[in-house]
Amino acid sequence: MGKKMNSILLSLFLVFAFVLSGCSVETKETKATSDATTVNEGTSKATATTAEDTTAANKYAGESLTILMASGDGSNEAVKAAMDKAAEILGITLEYSVVPDDQFLNVINTKGSTGNLDDVIFTSASLSDLPYAEFAELSGDWVSHISDATKSFTLNPDDGTTIMAPFGAESNFGLAYNKAVLEKAGVTLPIKDYAAFLDACKKIKDTGVTPLYISAQENWTPQILLLSSFTTTLLKDDLVTQLSTNKVKPQDVQGIVDIWNNVKAFSTNGYINDDFLSSSHQMGLEAIAKGEAGFYAVTDGAYGEIKTAYGDLIQGVGLTLCPMWNDEADAFVMGNRSARMLAATKNGSKLDIAKAFIDTCISQEVMTVYYDMSPGASPYVDMGYDLTSSEWNQEMKELATQFPTHGDWCNNLYDGTAVMNKFFGEFDLRVQSMFSGKTAQAAVTDWYTAYSESAKAQRVEGF
Amino acid sequence: MGKKGFYSNWMMYPAILIFVVFFIIPNISGFYLAFTDWNVYFIDDMRLVGFDNFQKLFIDNIFWISLKNTLFFVFVTVMAKNIIGFIMALLVSKASKFNTYLRTVMFLPVMISGIVISIIFLSIYNPETGLINTFLRSIGLGALAKGWLIDSKFAMSSIAAMEIWQWSGFNMVIFIAGLQSIPHNFYEAASIDGATWFQKIRYITVPLMIQSFTMTFVFSIISGFKVFAQVYGTTNGGPNDSTQVMATFLFRSFARGQYGYSAAVGIVFMLVITLFSALFLVFLRKKEIEY
């Protein structure tokens, strides 16, 4: 009997110990470690800087917030510095829950559906199908100052309330160019079409410099060539409506295949770096900063990266159009609404603190920290103060007086809605695959296959 | 039977519970999910779609590429790991301090995580600054310098080389145990009969080590089919999906939020692995010799 009782108790103890080990004691720890890598544990506590800040800091001192973000944002120094500044002002600590970029959508939707969403979400508004129903309505003073270009992307698509606070700059994509290289080659700007661009590349190559730098090791950089040039192609012949309702396939549209072919041609025409398959974005920045390349397709965030890494060499680099179009009439300046957004979880236990944190992030003090490190065009107007914008943004503004401005093809507003947002179809990988040997026709077909699968999963009509 | 049987049964139940919760139930759920359209966009609303996921899978070109790559990887790594492991075991099976040191060195790569190996080899395989191409250029063989991971002709073989380098030591350890279990009198008798070294290996060592070969082959086959970290950490299935394997293909489907489709992929891959493992097991078991 004694042994029998011992064995029962031992078995029950084993089961109990197992169950206990699977439960978390601290909810914060579970949120911080499941499915994600915790990158940073908060910052120092409050040293309030103003009387109002002192009040907020006293109110929330000792509290903490968890912030969910993708690894691309988690590695951005300007973002981290700004977040930490806001935390310092409020006297709170932050726990970052960073997930790989390609898993962010999965993680945020899964957390949203199970009620485990972090207190604050830092996301790219270019992602479609975020769990908008989980985001709280925001009502800070800044709401009425959001620019028209960015406004629609901050709204809940179901009820039109403001659920996201733009944080990063409204961006320009284009070709970074080295001023000295172009001057030596006798190339003048703006270059208005693809034929003129090839001519410019030839002139640059004759001086012994790589005309166009490609960093195809990364999957997000080659696509900038098309992100900043593809929109006007789609604006023709009601293509957007036809593509988004599956009435036409992109591989059957000659204009689409042609512009992809123009990009593909760089892998074989001798105007790019020999090591394009193994080159990284950092190598591209170095090449353009030091005059080892004439052009390099970038986002305007590269201004801050070059400035940080190469100091005064940034003065010798500008930003211009990316003319992959054959017809000069298709020329445009790519000006995008702000992509980086902050949101608060509606059913979070710390909703008040999360909202206060977001309001603090959109304050002059915190925004100045961010824009001093990563200059750009603010998504807010008439805030009563100026933020550092870069010479690149100024250049693109001047070009915008000559050419129309559109967003990138995926996030551009077509008749007021970003209808192509659901059809990204791993566009970055499709463009990268052309540099790995695929024909433009095959790459466009793969793009259609990928976006139609996604559209079918989203139960989009016509797919 | 009485008290002793009762005691052992009770101790078994916690393990059974864990096995049921973490293996049986998920697998049964996976079977069900494979017939639904469950995805990230409608996470609370899944619908049964019959065999749609399997149909989509079998017409997907990338699925066949991943299956072909996986079978290539399994064949190359199983053969190479076992041959190299066996040769290493023959070389270091005799007891000595030097051999003990060699065994340790050869086994060390097994202790390193697959992702870490991938990062190390990413550097070694770098076409511009990597160890291999730099060495080839330094000895005048620059023409042989390749894009080991970026050229689709060499990428899969390069990844297989990583696996062989890492796991040959594991097989070596198993073979050493097998070698040491063979009675010496067989070799003595063979020597008296005038057998050469090679004849001893062929007619004594290999037949009496079939059980060891069975173990290493099955382990190698299963780990070959499960390859993921090496591919994900180096090429992530590229360039142009030329190095996609079953595990990265499944992971990609999951990362796209297509959970039902991923479950179908997992079911098919499980069946493939089970079939191949069973075939090899039956074949090798027939060759085992009792002595």
Cβ neighbours, 10 Å, residue B3: 10
Note the pLDDT of residue A435.
92
What is the C-alpha end-to-end distance of chain B, expressed in Å? 34
Question: Are A407 and A332 a contacting pair, CB within 8 Å?
Answer: no
- Winning range, highest mean pLDDT, from A242-251, B6-15, B231-240: A242-251
Note the pLDDT of residue A23.
56
Note the pLDDT of residue A83.
94
Q: Which residues of A touch B39 (CB under 8 A)?
A: 457
A379: preceding bond cis by omega (within 30 degrees) = no
- Check B14 against A105: CB less than 8 A apart: no
Query: Got the DSSP string for B219-239?
Result: HHHHHHHT--HHHHHHTTT-S
The number of angstroms, rounded, from the C-alpha of B173 to the middle of its chain's C-alpha atoms is 16
Q: What is the DSSP letter of B94?
A: S
Nearest to A438 among B6, B150, B240 (CB): B240
Q: Percentage of residues in chain A with pLDDT exceeding 70?
A: 90
Question: Are A391 and A318 a contacting pair, CB within 8 Å?
Answer: yes
- Winning range, highest mean pLDDT, from A104-108, A316-320, B105-109: A316-320
Nearest to A106 among B11, B14, B257 (CB): B257
- Check A11 against B258: CB less than 8 A apart: no
User: β-pairing, A165-166 with A210-213?
Assistant: unpaired
Note the pLDDT of residue A16.
79
Q: Percentage of residues in chain B with pLDDT exceeding 70?
A: 96
- Check B255 against A102: CB less than 8 A apart: yes
Query: Got the DSSP string for A270-284?
Result: S-B-TTTTT--HHHH
Question: Are A388 and A375 a contacting pair, CB within 8 Å?
Answer: yes
Q: Which two tokens stand for residue B189?
A: 């008798």
Q: Which residues of B touch A433 (CB under 8 A)?
A: 239-240
pLDDT per residue over A322-366, tens digit each?
Answer: 999 999 999 999 987 777 899 999 998 999 999 999 999 999 999
Note the pLDDT of residue A28.
38
Note the pLDDT of residue A43.
33
Above 50 in pLDDT, residue B38? yes
Whose CA is closest to A409, among A324, A341, A340? A324
- CA distance linking residue A123 with residue A108, whole number of Å: 10
Please state, rounded to an integer, the average pLDDT across all residues of chain A.
86
User: β-pairing, A93-99 with A165-166?
Assistant: unpaired
A4 touches chain B (CB under 8 A): yes
List all residues 6 or more positions away from B59 whose beta carbon is below 8 Å from its beta carbon: none
Note the pLDDT of residue A399.
94
- CA distance linking residue A149 with residue A412, whole number of Å: 10
A291: left (phi over 0), alpha (psi -120 to 50) or beta: left
User: β-pairing, A64-70 with A93-99?
Assistant: parallel
Note the pLDDT of residue B255.
81
Whose CA is closest to A44, among A30, A62, A65? A62
> Where along chain B do its domains lie?
56-287
Name all domains of chain A by residue range, CATH numbers in brackets: 25-170+338-373 (3.40.190.10), 173-334+391-457 (3.40.190.10)
- Measured in angstroms, the CA of A370 and the nearest CA of chain B are apart by 31
Helices and strands, counts by H and E, chain B: 15, 0
pTM above 0.90, yes or no: no
Note the pLDDT of residue A40.
33
Query: Got the DSSP string for B108-170?
Result: GGGGS-HHHHHHHHHHHT-TTT-HHHHHHHHTT-GGG---TTTSHHHHHHHHHHHHHHHHHHH
Q: Which residues of A touch B128 (CB under 8 A)?
A: 275, 278
Count CA atoms within 13 Å of residue B83 on its CB side: 6
> Angle, to 10 degrees, between the axis of helix B61-92 and the axis of helix B246-255?
130
Which is higher by pLDDT, B5 or A244?
A: A244
Q: Which two tokens stand for residue B290?
A: 């009792």
Q: What is the mean pLDDT of residues A263-276?
A: 92
Above 60 in pLDDT, residue A369? yes
B42 touches chain A (CB under 8 A): yes
Model confidence at A109, pLDDT cuts 50, 70, 90, reads: confident
A109 touches chain B (CB under 8 A): yes
pLDDT per residue over B244-262, tens digit each?
Answer: 999 999 988 888 888 999 9
Note the pLDDT of residue A203.
97
Question: Are A359 and A192 a contacting pair, CB within 8 Å?
Answer: no
Question: Are B54 and B34 a contacting pair, CB within 8 Å?
Answer: yes
- Winning range, highest mean pLDDT, from A5-19, B74-88, B114-128: B74-88
- Check B43 against A110: CB less than 8 A apart: yes
Question: Are A87 and A357 a contacting pair, CB within 8 Å?
Answer: yes
Above 80 in pLDDT, residue A451? yes
Question: Are A277 and B150 a contacting pair, CB within 8 Å?
Answer: yes
Q: What are phi and psi of A91, to 5 degrees?
A: 75, 30
Question: Are A178 and A296 a contacting pair, CB within 8 Å?
Answer: no
Nearest to B240 among A7, A8, A437 (CB): A437
Q: Which residues of B touch A3 (CB under 8 A)?
A: 3, 7
pLDDT per residue over B163-186, tens digit each?
Answer: 999 999 999 999 999 998 888 898
Question: Are A42 and A76 a contacting pair, CB within 8 Å?
Answer: no
Measure Cα distances from A342 to A144, A252, A357, B16 in Å.
16, 39, 10, 46
Note the pLDDT of residue B177.
92
- Domain covering B56-287 assigned CATH 1.10.3720.10 in the classification: yes
- Check A11 against B238: CB less than 8 A apart: no
The residue assigned the tokens 């410099």 is: A209
pLDDT per residue over B120-142, tens digit each?
Answer: 999 999 888 899 999 999 999 98
Please state, rounded to an integer, the average pLDDT across all residues of chain B.
89
Above 50 in pLDDT, residue A39? no
Nearest to B43 among A15, A109, A458 (CB): A109
Above 70 in pLDDT, residue B232? yes
Note the pLDDT of residue A51.
43
Burial A145-166 (b: 16+ CB within 10 A, else e): ebbebbebbbeeeeeeebbbbb
